[in-house]
A and B are shown apart, each in its own frame.
Chain A
């Protein structure tokens, strides 16, 4: 009975591997071809800018404290009033702001970028395509 269960389990695991591999390959190809939305920048481009970029972390404080892009400043919607002062003090106005959140379909980076443009009248604020997941190479 154990042998039968193990044999069937192996078959189910292998069957699941087929669409997973196809799906993974398709997603890799699709990711490369995905167009940028207005106000977004790819990681490769932002990396080329090097020290001229100021990363802005729009995720929660807990996530920021756990891991972040080196040199990033924390600025999120939840703690906006508390964080915006220190953020402006720390930001060198010659640097381009690139905001990121988790990645995937997270909206926080777009919301913070919109607020930076609207409330603080800062032009040229960009959002990192793919967010922090992209930075991690996912």
Chain B
């Protein structure tokens, strides 16, 4: 039963990050790169000192989401992937919480371009649930024995 729950969580978490990462990489509506929109979404949070840093993150973060989500299914990388996703979830939750705290009227950009301003209470709940799910996966991988026994 526990194995089934973990498998379900793994699928759900990987699905969310694969979906979110893909939409931040490619704008399927305009059939173009989504990086400019994600760069603007990052800048709107006003957490970074430089626009260049926002651009670098906009290029790298979506690929990290996609790579880590895929690596969740690779036994030898699952712990690293869960660690990366744990960090990402915490950062996302922190960014949303900070924007809400500062009263910013911005779109989340969590799943590509969004025109409507974010409902921060909903986002906080959603991101907290995601962080909880990733934490469970992380703890599972942490306790799991290493796939390669140590050399004598």
User: Do A and B associate with each other?
Assistant: yes
- Cβ of B84 < 8 Å from any Cβ of A? yes
**What residues of A have a CB within 8 angstroms of the CB of B64 in the complex?**
12-13, 16, 20
Tell me whether chain B's interface is mostly helix, strand or loop, or mixed: helix
Q: B33–A130 contact, CB under 8 A?
A: no
Tell me whether chain A's interface is mostly helix, strand or loop, or mixed: helix
- Cβ of B119 < 8 Å from any Cβ of A? no
Q: B81–A8 contact, CB under 8 A?
A: yes
Contact of B36 among A9, A13, A133 (CB under 8 A): A133
Please report the C-alpha to C-alpha distance between residue A75 and residue B115 in the assembled complex, in whole angstroms.
Answer: 19
B residues 35-79 near A (Cβ < 8 Å) are 35-37, 39-40, 51-52, 54-55, 59-60, 63-64, 66-68, 71, 76-79
- Nearest-CB distance from A109 to chain B (Å)? 13
Could you mark each residue 77-99 of chain B with 1 if its beta carbon is under 8 Å from any beta carbon of chain A, else 0?
11111011000000000000000
Q: A8–B76 contact, CB under 8 A?
A: yes
Range for the number of chain B residues in contact with chain A: 35 or more
**Besides the known contacts A19-B63, A133-B40, 7 further A-B residue pairs in the complex with CB atoms under 8 A apart:** A5-B83, A8-B79, A11-B77, A12-B71, A62-B105, A106-B40, A138-B51
- Chain B residues engaging chain A, CB cutoff 8 angstroms: 25, 27, 29-30, 32-37, 39-40, 51-52, 54-55, 59-60, 63-64, 66-68, 71, 76-81, 83-84, 105, 113, 142, 146
A residues 9-49 near B (Cβ < 8 Å) are 9-13, 15-17, 19-20, 23-24, 27, 30
Q: B79–A16 contact, CB under 8 A?
A: no
- Cβ of A7 < 8 Å from any Cβ of B? yes
Which A residue's beta carbon lies closest to that of B72? Answer: A12
Report how many residues on chain A are interfacial, defined by Cβ distance under 8 Å. 30
Given that A104-B39, A138-B55 are known contacts, is A4 also in contact with B79, CB under 8 Å in the complex?
A: yes
- Cβ of A102 < 8 Å from any Cβ of B? yes
**What residues of A have a CB within 8 angstroms of the CB of B78 in the complex?**
8
Q: A5–B142 contact, CB under 8 A?
A: yes
Q: A130–B36 contact, CB under 8 A?
A: yes
Q: A105–B29 contact, CB under 8 A?
A: yes
Q: B40–A104 contact, CB under 8 A?
A: yes
* Among B35, B66, B78, residue most surrounded by chain A Cβ atoms (within 10 Å): B35
Q: B80–A8 contact, CB under 8 A?
A: yes
- Cβ of A137 < 8 Å from any Cβ of B? yes
* Among A4, A12, A13, residue most surrounded by chain B Cβ atoms (within 10 Å): A12
Q: A1–B142 contact, CB under 8 A?
A: yes
Q: B33–A27 contact, CB under 8 A?
A: yes
Please report the C-alpha to C-alpha distance between residue A27 and residue B142 in the assembled complex, in whole angstroms.
Answer: 38
Sorted from nearest, which 5 A-B pairs have the closest CB atoms? A8-B80, A104-B36, A104-B37, A16-B67, A16-B64
Q: B27–A105 contact, CB under 8 A?
A: yes
Please report the C-alpha to C-alpha distance between residue A11 and residue B64 in the assembled complex, in whole angstroms.
Answer: 11
